[in-house]
Each structure stands twice: as structure tokens, then as C-alpha cells.
Structure 1
Amino acid sequence: MDDRTMQAVLYDRYGGPDVLYVGRVPRPEPGPGEVLVRVRAVSVNGGELAVRSGRLRLLSGRGFPKRVGLDFTGEVAALGTGVTDLVAGERVWGVVGRSSGLGSAAEYVAVPAQRVGRVPDGLDLVEAAALPVATTAITALRDKTRLRPGERLLVRGAAGGVGNAAVQLGRSRGAEVTALARAANHDFVRGLGAHEVFDHRTTRPADLGRFDVVVDTAGTDLLAFRRLLRPGGRMTTIAFDLARPVSSLASIAASTVHGRGRVRFFSGNPTRADLDDLARHVVEGRLAPAVDTVFPLEEAAAAHRALEHGGVQGKHVIRVA
């Protein structure tokens, strides 16, 4: 096999999971300030499903083939010029930069050195692939809402990748954690440390009481959950309503000047410092990976289908053999 190429998950048109296939693309070389990583595993993220389906085609464009994969774990295979703080063979995790688009579901990925961090010793690289997304939960609680001990925290989508991390971190920070998840996932979410768990499909927001902090991963009915904030409460979301993106984003923007409590929207884009903070949380026992199912690279379509079906407990992971 030509060592100038590699396997990667691709698609040639927008559509359902079945548009995904494994093909061959040029193997990247690390540029100045970049690291070439031999990928061992990636996780499946909700944003990838939205791009692949075409719901965000105004942003993702019409150029094909396109690739999938946002985060990754693996080993350093080569260093670009100017990179002196990593060595070949080190175990790392990270994300592809926003300017690069998606593409970590492949045998190799070249990324800026500041987008990777060292994986803690003893942590399996496949399990570790469930954790880079947890940097989003860390940012939400540490920077966006500044969660304090004793405060009441509500997590929407508590069984998913960001949600399960927010539950774990909220409990470790001394908050009283209330979680929303489908009924089949309640035991899982309680095991993460939630004090109370409610079925998101049958519970009305108004029945939940008041909260100091709301962390949202769903992007729908944001104003209804914003009304649950106590005076001085803070709410952040990592999603918007894909069925009506313009009005959803407009309502988020309007929350900065109207009504009680601003809804802060952000998209995780971790740096080395964030990934190092993630490693500290793992080493100190405040955060553990939650892997639902592991799929081989050639079953990437099945991994996407599983996430679309719902009911995930943690993350679906794709192993890159």
C-alpha cells in the first residue's frame, strides 16, 4: 500500500449515515508548528451529524468529498519545525482546528501543536477519546457560568458527551445537580453524581424549580429554561435549534438585553491549556470517561446512526486500527 496515502472516513454528498464510506486520501505532513498524530480513536459528535446531513450546508459549502471527525487520541508520529515541547511516541489527545474543518476520523491527522495535550498515564486511548469534548463542560462551568459550591445546577442532555461531563464536574465542584435525560438513562446519570434526574420528554421546565446555573446541550426551548434562573443566575448553551437556526440564534442574542438572565452561547475550541486542565481533572478523580459503544473505522456509518437514534450514555467511539 502506498504510504503516501491513508484511510479516512469520507462522504460525497449530504445525507444520512449511509453516505459515509472509508476511502484513501493523501497522508498529511506536519507544517511549521504542527504535529502529525497517528490516530487511535475518535468520538462521534452531534455537530458532525448536522454537517453531514446538510443542515449546515450554508456554512460547510458544496465541495466534496468531505470528512468527519473533530477530536482524537493517538501518538505523536512526527513534529513540524518549531515544535520542541513534544516528542515522537507521546500519547496525546486533541481537536482539529476550526479552520481545518472536520477530518480526524483517519489514520493520521496534522494539527497545530497547541491543539494537542498529553493523555494521562494509564488511561486507555480508546476510552480517552470520550474526553476531549469534556473541555467544553469545563469551560461552561469554570468560565461561562462560574459555578460555585452549594449552587443549584441543571444539566440538559445529561447522558451525552458534554452533559455527562457537566454532571460529574458539577458534583465535584460541590453543586446540587439536577439532570434531564431520557428515562432509560436515569440510572447511568445518577451514577455520574446527579442528585435528581427527570425525564426530559415528560417533565415541564416550570416543574423543575429555580436554578443558579443552567447548562444546555439541546438548543431548543431556551427561553423556557432561562425563566428558571434565580436572581443572579447564569445559563450557557452549546447548541441552537437546527429546525429554526436564525430565530434560535436571534433569541440567544436578544437575551443579552431583554429579560432576566443572559443565555451565553459558545462552541468548544480547546487549546493546550484546556487539554492540560482536562488531564488534571482526570488524574485527580473528578472526571472519568464514559464510553457507550466502540465501532471500527469501517463502521463509521453505524456509529453515526447510533448517535442519531438517541439514548447514548457518554460517547460513541470509533477505533482507528
Structure 2
Amino acid sequence: MFDHGHLTTGQTVLVHGAAGGVGSLAVQLAREVGARVIGTGRAGDRDVALDLGAHSFLDLEADELPHAGEVDLVFDVIGGDILTRSTELVRPGGTVVTIAMPPTVQPTNGRAIFFVVEPDRVRLTDLAQRLRAGRLKPIVGAVRPLSETASAFARRRRTPGKTIIQVADEEGTQHSSSV
């Protein structure tokens, strides 16, 4: 949102999947920088997204996407038709940033960017500090032992939040890793 979308204080961002593992963090980071945040998702996600700091919420199954109004930035984790229709909401000079798929449509007088997240030690350290300080609240869906890794991700149903795989080192000390 910040590197590719140049999100700053006072701008409006539409975060798709606002209650999911990535979207929930995007909502909090955008709110912390002083942006107006519109979250989207399913009806059951409304309270989670609003509790995380979204100013308003659109149910993608019941509300019309144009009701969001014009935005400076769309942050997309869904792709498909939602990504395509979201380009119509971007103000001139605005950006669509997606991690779901390469965009097939560009916003009028704006840009659309697809990128694959790569590990960045400095950014991960910053997120860890925010987490320890209580400024960032990840949604943890489940904590599973290493021996259950395959089954933890073989489920077909949607699990809210991140699944944490707990790993023990040689001394039996427990460590957790988010996937």
C-alpha cells in the first residue's frame, strides 16, 4: 500500500478481504497512517473489519461496489471480477495494488500494480515491533503442531485468520511461524 500505492494521511483506501489474514493487517496499517479505510468482505466479516479500524464496510455479496465511492487506492487480495470492477472506483492519479493476480484492466487516469510479496527483514522487524507494542493485532485462526501442517492446509472450508504452525527446536523450546 505504501511503496506501490503511495498511501498517505487523508487519503481513502478500499481494502478487499478486510477481515482476512492480509487484509486485516492492511486495514490497521492504513488506519495508523491516517487514511480513511473502507473494508470489504462477507457480511460476517463486518464487525471484525470495523473493530480493526475500518471506517465503513461493504458486504461484497449484498452491497453494490460503487457505493464505496471514489478512492485513492484499492488494495486487493481477491482478484477476479472484484479486482476488475474496483478499477472504476479509483480517482485520477490513484492506484490499484493487487497481490491476487495481474490486473487485466487499468483505472482511467490511474495505474494498477500486481506484485508478489517478498521477505524484507526491515519491514518484518517493524511489523514485529508494532505487534509487541500492541499497535498491530493479527487474527489467529488456529495454532497447529508441525506434525499437522499438511492437514492444517488441506481443509476445503474457509478458516478466518492466519494458521500458525508451532515448531519445537532440539531443546524442546516452542517457536511459532505464520503461514
Q: In 2, distance between residues paired with 1:275 and 1:250? A: 27
Residue 144, structure 1, aligned to residue 4, structure 2: yes
Q: In 1, distance between residues paired with 2:39 and 2:55? A: 8
Contact 1:229 1:261 in 2 (8 A): yes
Partner of 1:156: 16
Partner of 1:266: 115
Amino acid at match of 2:67: D
Distance verdict in 2 for CA 1:250–1:232, change over 3 Å: closer
Equivalent in 70, 86, 91 of residue 230 of structure 1: 91
Q: Unaligned 5+ residue runs, structure 1?
A: 1-140, 241-248
Identity between Structure 1 and Structure 2 (%)? 41
Contact 1:178 1:195 in 2 (8 A): yes
More displaced, 275-284 or 182-191? 275-284
Contact 2:39 2:54 in 1 (8 A): yes
Partner of 1:179: 39
Residue 310, structure 1, aligned to residue 153, structure 2: no
Residue 170, structure 1, aligned to residue 30, structure 2: yes
SS in 1 for 2:3: helix
Q: In 2, distance between residues paired with 1:165 and 1:250? A: 22
TM-score normalised over the length of structure 2:
0.83
Q: In 2, distance between residues paired with 1:219 and 1:265? A: 10
TM-score normalised over the length of structure 1:
0.48
Shift of 1:167: 0.5
Q: In 2, distance between residues paired with 1:315 and 1:231? A: 35
Q: Unaligned 5+ residue runs, structure 2?
A: 169-179
RMSD of aligned C-alpha atoms?
2.0
Structure with greater Cα Rg: 1
Aligned residues: 167
SS in 1 for 2:50: helix
Contact 1:214 1:234 in 2 (8 A): yes
Contact 1:233 1:261 in 2 (8 A): yes
Distance verdict in 2 for CA 1:176–1:250, change over 3 Å: closer
Please give the residue correspondences for 1:1-321 in structure 2 after superposition, counting only pairs within 5 Å: 141-221=1-81, 222-240=83-101, 249=102, 251=104, 255=106, 259-306=108-155, 308-312=156-160, 314-321=161-168
